Amino acid sequence: MMGWLNIGSLLLGLIAWILPVINLMRNKKHEHKNWGVLSVISISACAISLSFQIFYNYHLVKIEDWSALMDTTRAVVIATAVLLIFTFILNGLTFIVYRQNKK
C-alpha cells in the first residue's frame, strides 16, 4: 500500500512539469485564459508529490527500515531538488511569456 506513494509522487511530479509545457505550447496560439490556473495546479502537484515522499519516509521510519532509508535518502534529496527547480523554472517562464504577450 505504501509503495503507491512513490508511484503517485512520480506521476504528480510529471504533471507538475507537463502543465507548464502545455501552457508554453498554447502561447503560440495566443490562448491565455487559464495560464494562472494551470500554474497553480502545477505547483500544487509538485507540493503533493513532495508530501508523498515525506509520508513514505515517515513510513520507513515507523517500520524501522533503516537500510531502506539510508539507501534511498540521497536519491530522494536529489530528485526533490530537481523537481522543485524545474517546476519553478517552467512556471517562471510561463509567467514571463504571459507578461510579455500581455503588453
pLDDT for 28 equals 66
Instruction: Please give the C-alpha separations between residue 70 and each of 52, 67, 73, 74, 76, in angstroms, as whole numbers.
Output: 18, 5, 6, 8, 11
The reported pTM is 0.88
In tens, the pLDDT along 88-99 reads 999 999 999 888
* Nearest-5° Cα angle at 27, 22 to 32: 95
Q: Where are the domains of the chain?
A: 3-102
pLDDT for 101 equals 75
pLDDT for 29 equals 63
Intervals of the chain under pLDDT 50: none
CA 85 to chain centre: 9
pLDDT for 5 equals 94
pLDDT for 32 equals 63
